């Protein structure tokens, strides 16, 4: 894959994950001073602006201190390490509040588990179930949609969980942050783990 299209974790100013973007977008944000690169070195957070990140990139190359997951973006004038994590400087509260209600985000929130039988499935074997069916006035809102496997979905049909004698593993809730803690484990994203763990524990669960 082109380095510019790879994923970058986006943190707010409190170091909480809020979204995922591309390296290309991250570099633009960095260049326009809308974001800083965040790294974890010896258990400490370090932040870099565009200039200091270029300096670091050059130093690493110069001293042959290239890390295993470093990808370099080479241009005529400089060569810069692809950031893995950035922190945006002005991310207002309105944005933090609204996690987009999408099929993908519901699956992420529910950790790819059917909320009725609690089994884990690949994305394509899950659908989005309206807890109170649409035909019964159920709305398409975070609090009324859950991941559900086809078997459970068929069994539930047009009923409420009560009527179908089924119980939700966990009440549907609106996540505070993008629930991005399910991604293909890869060495490349080791640098995300410090922040993803934090997001995991910060997410509001309402049992
Ligand atoms: Zn199921």
> Among residues 110, 115, 121, 207, which one has the least CA distance to residue 153?
115
Distance, CA 124 to ligand 1 centroid (Å)? 13
> Does 168 have pLDDT greater than 60?
yes
- Rounded to the nearest angstrom, the distance between the alpha carbon of 150 and the centre of ligand 1 is 7
Residue 181's pLDDT is 43
Centre of ligand 1 from the C-alpha of residue 94, in Å: 35
Q: Is 30 helix (H, G, I), strand (E, B) or coil?
A: helix
* pTM over cut 0.75: no
- The pLDDT score that the predictor gives to residue 185 is 41
Average pLDDT over residues 7-29: 85
Ligand 1 mean position, distance from CA 37 (Å): 41
**Ligand 1: centre distance to CA 201 (Å):** 25
Task: Grade residue 193 by pLDDT with cuts at 50, 70 and 90.
Answer: confident
- 193 CA distance to ligand 1 middle (Å): 29
> Does the pLDDT of residue 54 top 80, yes or no?
yes
121 Cα–ligand 1 center, Å: 9
pLDDT for position 172: 94
Q: Which of 38-42, 52-56, 102-106 has the highest mean pLDDT?
A: 52-56
Answer yes or no: is pLDDT of 140 > 80: yes
Q: Which chain residues have CB less than 5 Å from ligand 1, an ion?
A: 114, 116-117, 149, 152
Give the chain's end-to-end CA distance (angstroms, integer): 40
* pLDDT the model gives residue 201: 47
- Ligand 1 centre to CA of 20 (Å) is 29
- The whole-number average pLDDT for the span 48-53 is 93
Q: What is the pLDDT of residues 102-137, one digit of tens each?
A: 888 888 889 899 999 999 999 999 999 999 999 999
| Ligand 1 centroid from CA 131, angstroms | 13
Determine how β-strand 85-88 pairs with β-strand 7-11.
Answer: parallel
């Amino acid at each position: 894959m082109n380095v510019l299209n790879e994923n970058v974790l986006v943190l707010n100013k409190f170091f909480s994950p809020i979204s995922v973007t591309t390296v290309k977008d991250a570099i633009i944000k960095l260049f326009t001073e809308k974001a800083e690169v965040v790294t974890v070195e010896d258990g400490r957070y370090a932040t870099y602006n565009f200039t200091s990140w270029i300096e670091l990139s050059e130093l690493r190359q110069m001293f042959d201190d290239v890390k295993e997951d470093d990808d370099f973006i080479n241009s005529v004038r400089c060569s810069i390490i692809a950031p893995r994590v950035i922190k945006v400087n002005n991310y207002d509260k309105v944005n933090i509040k609204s996690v987009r209600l999408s099929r993908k985000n519901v699956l992420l929130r529910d950790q790819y588990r059917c909320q009725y039988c609690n089994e884990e499935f690949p994305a394509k074997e899950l659908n989005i179930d309206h807890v109170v069916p649409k035909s019964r006035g159920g709305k398409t809102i975070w609090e009324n949609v859950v991941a559900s496997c086809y078997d459970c979905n068929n069994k539930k049909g047009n009923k409420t969980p009560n009527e179908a004698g089924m119980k939700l593993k966990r009440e549907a809730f609106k996540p505070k942050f993008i629930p991005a803690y399910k991604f293909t484990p890869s060495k490349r994203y080791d640098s995300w783990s410090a922040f993803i763990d934090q997001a995991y524990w910060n997410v509001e669960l309402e049992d």
